[in-house]
């Protein structure tokens, strides 16, 4: 079956209102999905399971970085897995973007594809939020040796050998910069990891904004990045 070698890793925390729809839509293209229920207090895990996802549970909330690491370990247990996609549970990511990113990595000249909100004009983030995110990108690029336009986008495609070497220790928002830093310094077969960016559309809805996709959330990302 097409895309049987791809696993979507979905950190999940109190997204019962939308997770079934997110899983259903994604499984129409990518059948392998693991949701890491990160100590949810609602029916998120049950609804994800009923929608067809595998579910791994954290008994307490550990943060998105820890959830991603658990998901990576789960996906690595499938010997046929070639690619991992990090994917949000709140409906902001578009499965057609994932499809384009997977097609990009399948060309074989890169080991990582990062999604970027800043490569086209589809995204609706406010001017202040864009400014804060761009400041975070500038800081990340300066400290990791990478050259990205959107270092804190949660949509990524990673080849298996990259996933095998990642070791996320930052559980909260700083994990995104840690992933970039590790990829920036990683070598495979004696060569630096090659990466590319693809434009993606982040769908900011009333629901996702209520869950914390605000200007202050962007400020918190930048502040935690600098603190770490």
Rg (CA), the chain: 16
- 16: its two tokens: 């019962």
Classified by CATH at the fold level, domain 6-227 comes out as Spore Coat Polysaccharide Biosynthesis Protein SpsA; Chain A (3.90.550)
| Torsion (CA) 96, 98, 103, 109 in degrees, nearest 10 | 150
Per-residue CA distances from 145 to 88, 142, 186 (Å): 26, 6, 11
Give pLDDT, residue 25: 97
Give pLDDT, residue 117: 87
Q: Which residue has the tokens 């690595």?
A: 76
In the chain, which stretches have pLDDT less than 50? Answer: 215
pTM for the whole structure: 0.87
C-alpha angle 83-125-221 in degrees, rounded to nearest 5? 65
Domain boundaries of the chain, sorted by first residue: 6-227
Give pLDDT, residue 220: 58
Angle between helices 175-185 and 64-76 (to 10 degrees): 50
- Cα–Cα distance measured from residue 11 to residue 88, given in angstroms and rounded to the nearest whole number: 7
Give pLDDT, residue 62: 95
């Amino acid at each position: 079956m097409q895309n049987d070698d791809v696993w979507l890793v979905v950190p999940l925390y109190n997204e019962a209102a939308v997770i079934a729809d997110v899983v259903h839509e994604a499984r129409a293209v990518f059948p392998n999905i693991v949701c890491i229920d990160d100590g949810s207090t609602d029916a998120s895990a049950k609804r994800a399971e009923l929608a067809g996802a595998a579910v791994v549970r954290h008994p307490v909330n550990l943060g998105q970085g820890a959830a991603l690491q658990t998901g990576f370990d789960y996906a690595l247990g499938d010997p046929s897995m070639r690619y991992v996609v990090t994917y949000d549970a709140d409906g902001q990511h578009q499965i057609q973007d994932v499809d384009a990113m997977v097609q990009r990595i399948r060309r074989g000249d890169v080991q990582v594809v990062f999604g970027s909100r800043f490569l086209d004009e589809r995204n609706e983030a406010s001017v202040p939020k864009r400014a804060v995110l761009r400041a975070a990108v500038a800081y990340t690029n300066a400290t990791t040796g990478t050259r990205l336009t959107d270092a804190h986008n949660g949509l990524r495609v990673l080849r298996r050998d990259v996933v095998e070497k990642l070791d996320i220790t930052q559980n909260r928002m700083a994990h995104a910069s840690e992933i970039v830093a590790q990829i920036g310094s990683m070598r495979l077969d004696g060569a630096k990891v090659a990466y590319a960016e693809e434009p993606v559309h982040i769908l900011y809805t009333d629901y996702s904004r209520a869950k914390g996709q605000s200007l202050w959330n962007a400020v918190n990302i930048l502040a935690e990045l600098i603190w770490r």
